[in-house]
């Protein structure tokens, strides 16, 4: 896609990198923060589960310790009063529903308390290892006596052969065991459950009441938890998806073969970072929108100014000048517009000079002339000027022997030298006539003598340059040529001559016609001047010859002078 608009370039090459940077930063930040939050959840979940497991263990600790003490007392066969005291202590523990002691070899089976003081001859009660548990905890059941859910802690008594001699069964309210868990608050607000080693649900929150065991729906996350229950004391797991659809954690109890399992939706855990991500995306969109607005505000003026400059340049290229452009700022764009306006003014002035004075007027002379009112309007004024005209002698015969290309080459070289010399002496070229050129020197109403000297210096310098050119042309195989120059002075009309659509700065009057005749009297290499000119420069020139000629517009014959510079005089 080709981007043409400067505004589009700003938007693409400024906004796009910023958007990529913001998006990349947010993307990496999101994943980094997500990892931190998941890790924090893991640590927090393990701590909560550990705390819950600890409280459940504490609820079971007192009756279990007393059961272990009673088991020890039965093994050691103390007095019955000790056994009574221990059973009373067990019954007094909070949460205990009932205590059943069954020793059939010493009096049959009964409910409530049953005491035996001895194990009988030759039949001692076997003492279990201190490293082994002397009790088991059953799964929760419904107790018909209390009408509540209960768990049984059972301690069996065996002889040395492993035969069961009796057992102690202590029923504890399951609600009492779960009391601290319920009080925590998170139990009812989270997806949580209490499971045994096989994964059967012992207790669960309302969301899980339709389930009977962990992993029954072949859920990969639940199966992973169930597998870990057989190998680890605690752990956390992430489900499928990014972010994970569900996360889970578990922790085993110490006193009972149970584990507390907690599930949580991944989005709920990551809700803060997801919310931050959404806010970040909104902030990024807002920032990009602000940048776009700023680009429109800041660069809009610049783009509009550049567009105006471009359109104005197109008009100028077609030769149509428009009004100066408005400068809207003081910065680089404002300076550019200001420079463009000055350039247009310069071009207009240059074109005016070109159209008015031609291409061969010294810029300083043109600038000085433009300060005068008559230079910018049709018409002019009368004043005395010095007029110079030069012409190549015998040029018509030369054209017959040279090719057109050679003629043009020789003329161009000749005129290039003439134009350069005229400009050096602040002359104004009026026109070219074939191989001749008409020039005048305008004192602008001031003393004429200074400009007569300029015209004389110009004429002598032209002759010198033409002689050098003649030698150059001969070396190139072209025949050399000479020029004749005539100089006159007189009052003429100076100004713009022509029409509103095409005008030229020039001179009109009898002295112009006279200089043409004076130039015609000059031979190759000569400078012929009128008497008015000679009177101004007689102190610096010698007369080679003088003669009289009849000239149109004059009643009497006019004296002309062929002059040369005195040897002791030099013009710099």
Q: Does domain 359-565 have CATH number 3.30.70.920?
A: no
For the segment 474-495, what is each residue's pLDDT rounded down to a tens digit? Answer: 777 777 788 999 999 999 988 8
Q: What is the mean pLDDT of the chain?
A: 79
Contact 15, 294 (CB under 8 A): no
For the segment 164-217, what is each residue's pLDDT rounded down to a tens digit? Answer: 778 889 998 888 888 877 676 566 657 888 888 888 888 887 777 777 888 888
The answer on pLDDT for 565 being more than 80 is yes
459 — pLDDT class (breaks 50, 70, 90)? very high
The answer on pLDDT for 421 being more than 80 is yes
Q: Between 150 and 6, where is the model more confident? A: 150
The dihedral through the CA atoms of 92, 93, 98, 103 has a sign that is negative
Give the residue-averaged pLDDT of 248-271: 84
The answer on pLDDT for 371 being more than 70 is no
Q: Which fold has domain 272-350?
A: Helicase, Ruva Protein; domain 3 (1.10.8)
For the segment 212-244, what is each residue's pLDDT rounded down to a tens digit? Answer: 888 888 888 889 999 998 889 998 888 887 777
Helix H or strand E encompassing 149: strand 148-159
| Predicted local confidence at residue 104, as pLDDT | 63
| Predicted local confidence at residue 521, as pLDDT | 92
| Predicted local confidence at residue 7, as pLDDT | 63
Helix, strand, or coil (residue 150)? strand
CATH number of 31-119+131-171: 3.30.450
Whether 272-350 and 179-270 are alike in CATH topology: the answer is no
| Predicted local confidence at residue 18, as pLDDT | 75
The distance of Cα 338 from the centroid of its chain, to the nearest Å, equals 29
| Predicted local confidence at residue 165, as pLDDT | 78
451 — pLDDT class (breaks 50, 70, 90)? very high
Helix, strand, or coil (residue 2)? coil
Percent share of the chain, pLDDT over 90: 17
pTM: 0.45
Helix H or strand E encompassing 252: strand 246-252
| Predicted local confidence at residue 108, as pLDDT | 37
Which of 436-470 are b and which e, b meaning 16 or more Cβ less than 10 Å from the residue's Cβ? Answer: bbbbbbbbeeeebeebbbbbbbbbbbbbebbeebb
The answer on pLDDT for 124 being more than 50 is no
Please report, for the chain, the start and end positions of each structural domain, with discontinuous segments joined by +. Answer: 31-119+131-171, 179-270, 272-350, 359-565
Give the residue-averaged pLDDT of 255-264: 87
Residue among 189, 199, 112, 202 at smallest CA distance from 149 = 202
Q: Between 24 and 228, where is the model more confident? A: 228
Helix, strand, or coil (residue 552)? coil
Specify which of 103-107, 330-334, 507-511 reaches the highest per-range mean pLDDT.
507-511
386 — pLDDT class (breaks 50, 70, 90)? very high
| Predicted local confidence at residue 385, as pLDDT | 94
Range of weakest confidence among 127-141, 349-363, 497-511: 349-363
| Predicted local confidence at residue 372, as pLDDT | 58
Distances (CA, A) of 201 to 215, 216, 291, 299: 11, 11, 58, 69
Q: Is the N-terminal amide bond of 243 cis, ω within 30° of 0?
A: yes
Which of 18-40 are b and which e, b meaning 16 or more Cβ less than 10 Å from the residue's Cβ? Answer: eeeebeeebeeebeeebeebbee
CATH number of 179-270: 3.30.450.20
| Predicted local confidence at residue 441, as pLDDT | 94
What CA–CA distance (Å, rounded) separates 306 from 141? 89
Distances (CA, A) of 74 to 33, 85, 108, 125, 450: 59, 13, 17, 8, 150
129 — pLDDT class (breaks 50, 70, 90)? very low
């Amino acid at each position: 896609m080709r981007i043409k608009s400067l505004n589009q370039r700003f938007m693409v090459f400024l906004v796009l990198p910023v958007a990529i940077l913001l998006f990349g930063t947010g993307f990496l930040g999101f994943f980094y923060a997500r990892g931190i939050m998941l890790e924090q959840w893991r640590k927090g979940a393990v701590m909560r589960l550990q705390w819950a497991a600890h409280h459940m263990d504490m609820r079971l600790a007192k009756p279990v310790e007393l059961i272990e003490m009673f088991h020890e007392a039965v093994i050691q066969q103390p007095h019955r009063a000790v056994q009574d005291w221990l059973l009373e202590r067990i019954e007094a523990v909070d949460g205990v529903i009932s205590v059943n002691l069954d020793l059939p070899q010493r009096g049959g089976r009964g409910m409530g308390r049953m005491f035996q003081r001895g194990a009988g001859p030759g039949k001692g009660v076997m003492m279990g290892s201190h490293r082994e548990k002397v009790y088991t905890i059953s799964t929760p059941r419904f107790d018909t006596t209390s009408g509540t859910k209960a768990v049984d802690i059972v301690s069996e008594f065996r002889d040395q052969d492993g035969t069961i001699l009796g057992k102690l069964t202590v029923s504890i309210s399951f609600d009492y065991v779960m009391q601290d868990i319920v009080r925590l608050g998170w139990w009812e607000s989270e997806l949580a459950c209490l499971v045994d080693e096989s994964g059967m649900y012992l207790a669960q929150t309302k969301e899980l009441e339709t389930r009977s065991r962990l992993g029954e729906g072949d859920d990969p996350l639940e199966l992973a938890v169930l597998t870990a229950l057989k190998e680890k004391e605690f752990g956390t797991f992430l489900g499928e998806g990014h972010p994970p659809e569900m996360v889970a954690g578990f922790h085993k109890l110490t006193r009972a073969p149970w584990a507390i399992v907690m599930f949580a939706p991944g989005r709920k855990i990551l809700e803060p970072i997801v919310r931050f991500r959404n806010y970040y995306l909104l902030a990024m969109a807002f920032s990009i929108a602000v940048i776009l607005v700023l680009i429109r505000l800041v660069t809009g003026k610049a783009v509009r100014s550049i567009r105006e400059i471009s359109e104005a340049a197109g008009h100028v290229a077609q030769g149509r000048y428009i009004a100066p452009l408005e400068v809207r700022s003081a910065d680089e764009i404002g300076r550019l517009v200001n420079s463009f306006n000055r350039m247009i003014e310069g071009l207009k002035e240059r074109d005016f000079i070109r159209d008015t004075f031609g291409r061969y007027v010294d810029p300083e002379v043109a600038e000085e002339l433009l300060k005068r009112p008559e230079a910018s309007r049709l018409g002019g004024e009368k004043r005395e000027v010095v007029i110079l005209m030069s012409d190549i002698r015998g040029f018509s015969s030369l054209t017959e022997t040279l090719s057109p290309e050679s003629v043009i080459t020789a003329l161009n070289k000749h005129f290039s030298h003439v134009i350069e010399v005229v400009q050096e002496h602040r002359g104004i070229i009026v026109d070219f006539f074939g191989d001749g050129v008409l020039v005048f020197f305008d004192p602008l109403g001031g003393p004429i003598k200074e400009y007569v000297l300029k015209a004389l210096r110009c004429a002598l310098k032209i002759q010198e340059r033409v002689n050098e050119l003649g030698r150059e042309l001969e070396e190139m195989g072209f025949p050399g040529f000479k020029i004749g120059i005539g100089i006159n002075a007189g009052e003429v009309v100076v100004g713009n001559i022509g029409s509103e659509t095409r005008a030229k700065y020039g001179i009109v009057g009898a002295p112009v016609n006279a200089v043409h005749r004076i130039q015609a009297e000059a031979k190759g290499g000569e400078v012929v001047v009128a008497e008015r000119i000679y009177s101004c420069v007689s102190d610096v020139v010698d007369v080679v010859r003088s003669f009289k000629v009849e000239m149109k517009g004059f009643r009497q014959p006019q004296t002309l002078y062929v002059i040369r510079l005195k040897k002791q005089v030099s013009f710099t």
